[in-house]
Structure 1
Amino acid sequence: MMYNNLLVEIKNRILYITINRAAKLNALNKDTLAELSAVIKDFITNAKAGVAIITGDGPKAFVAGADISEFANFTVAEGQQLATDGHTNVFDLIENSPKPIIAAINGFALGGGLELAMACHIRIASENAKLGLPEVTLGLIPGYGGTQRLTQLVGKAKALEMILTADMVRAEDAKSIGLVNEVTPEYALITKCEELAEKMLSRAPLALTSALKAVNAFYSKDKNGYIVEIEEFGKLFGTDDFKEGTQAFIEKRKANFTGR
């Protein structure tokens, strides 16, 4: 499938998704969100890719926010529908992906851009990255999960400070508060993400899926994370990968997982 706002490529079972709107600092407009939804849905079912990396084109921005011009004149109902569609079709879809998705944060990750990064399972930032939720400067609040995911990641006090002041944090500060996993030089950003992706690809795919499901259950109000963990743990005993993994351990060799 051809995309107008994304560059999409699969190499060595890694799906590379680059938001290709550098002239607009990779802002998320309606069409870009629709394309992201389509590519993530394909990734979930595509056996050729086991891990995805999302980044932005150019050195300035991962995603500098949403395309404000598209919703400046929205009504209350239209604003609520905008947020609902974003949650359902993109951000929740990413968070609940059964395969790992890594955000490679190059430059600004603001507003919807930070919300996109927070929906990913792991965040790696370049040294020049700046992260923030500036929505209150527009008379809004984050609408794509930012109030919830930022609080989960950094705690209530820091989340409120960032949201209420609209201040940006630099990459190293983002790491210190748990907003990003690692900080790398700009030139090493994708390489670091690839290292993590390759390590995950060497693990049992069904176990990765179960781990993602169990961890996400902790944040679901209608699920008991302990019960989900027990169920997922038990199910894995019926997989070929469990048999292969345990046999490889006993035989002191590298496991050859097949995702069955």
Structure 2
Amino acid sequence: MTTFENLLTDLDATTGILTVTLNRPSKLNALNAATIEDIRSVMQQALDDQVVRGIILTGSGEKAFVAGADIAELAALDENKGRRAAEQGQEAFCMIEESTKPVIAAVNGFALGGGCELAMACHLRVASDNARFGQPEVNLGLIPGYGGTQRLPQLIGKAKALELLMTADMIKADEALRLGLVNHVVPQAELLPFCQQLLARILTKAPLALGLIIDAVNAHYDKEKHGYQTEANAFGRLFSSEDFKEGTQAFLEKRPAAFRGN
């Protein structure tokens, strides 16, 4: 896999788990344009690499997952450049959300602004007990630009999302769990092992079915798609898959299934 300016990658070829670490520790892993491009590029490579079966996304150090956007870089933008920056961020984060390979955010500290948006683009979120979440853009006279106004209401409901977006309040991990923003909260020392175990358990399931589950759930939130029809199409498609044949045969023979993703 390519060496990236602002990311570290570690692929376990045995499990197929790719760990991607945002690595700008002096900036608390804040997102700049180069990091956004690195995220887009690593996702494309991960999707193209048959060895990669699932992805864990985390931040370097013990303080921050991603503490926000690079404010100095934002300050230099005008209206047109700002719109384009948002579109590029949305494109990269949509690659995560639409990935047919499961992506878990291991949130190891502050997930603010673009960091919260990045975590929300992942399929599952596990937070360390010192994690903090928030969308403070309104304090800068801005709004979230990488999908935060869309994904936060999907995850925690419209009213609470509006409150957090308009007050810029920061919430602790236990509150994020209560609201449904994260799936689990664990001690920081256990964060990566927990995510690895969770993803490994998911990866014992049929890969083609996992990808189609993601497609069908995402379709519910896409105004251009019909979620129920997407589900029905995927359901029907899987009857012609080798994984379905293997899964049913394994069930009847009372043995673990050996899925191959076809």
In the superposition, the TM-score normalised over structure 2's length comes to 0.98
Partner in structure 2 of residue 183 of structure 1: 185
Is structure 2 residue 228 aligned with structure 1 residue 221? no
Paired with 1:110 and 1:122, the residues of 2 have a C-alpha distance of 17
Alignment match, 2:3: 2
The aligned counterpart of 1:15 is 18
1:62 matched to 2:34? The reply is no
Cα distance in 1, alignment partners of residues 76 and 218 from structure 2:
35
Give the counterpart letter for 1:165 in structure 2.
T
- TM-score normalized by structure 1? 0.99
- Encode CA deviations 1:123-157: one digit per residue, 9 max, x unaligned: 00000000000000000000000011000000011
Q: Secondary structure at the match of 1:54?
A: strand
Partner SS for 2:57: strand
Match of 1:28 in 2: 31
In 2, Cα distance between equivalents of 1:224 and 1:208:
19
Distance 1:112 1:171 in 2: 17
Q: What's the offset of the Cα at 1:73?
A: 2.5
Match of 1:84 among 79, 84, 87: 87
What does residue range 67-146 of structure 1 map to in structure 2 within 5 Å? 67-88=70-91, 90-146=92-148
Pick one of 219, 227, 230 that aligns with 2:232.
230
Find the aligned partners of 1:77 and 1:157 in 2 and give their Cα distance.
Answer: 31
Quote the Cα distance in structure 1 between the aligned partners of 2:193 and 2:30.
24
What displacement does 1:84 show?
0.8
Query: Which SS does the other structure have where 1:123 is aligned?
Result: strand
Structure 1 CA distance, aligned partners of 2:90 and 2:109?
24
- 3-state SS of paired residue (2:236): helix
Match of 1:254 in 2: 256
Which segments of 5 or more consecutive residues in structure 2 lack a partner in the other structure? Answer: none
Once the 2 structures are TM-superposed, how far is the Cα of residue 193 of structure 1 from its aligned partner? Answer: 0.5
The 3-state SS of whatever aligns with 1:8 is strand
| Partner amino acid, structure 1, of 2:7 | L
The size of the alignment, in residue pairs, is: 259
Structure 2 CA distance, aligned partners of 1:212 and 1:233?
Answer: 13
Q: Give, as a single letter, the amino acid of the residue that structure 1 aligns with 2:3.
A: M
Measure the CA separation in 2 of the matches of 1:62 and 1:102: 13
CA apart distance, 1:78: 1.1
Distance in 1 (alpha carbons) for counterparts of 2:54 and 2:220: 22
- Distance in 2 (CA, whole Å) between partners of 1:199 and 1:189 is 16
Q: Distance in 1 between matches of 2:173 and 2:155?
A: 15
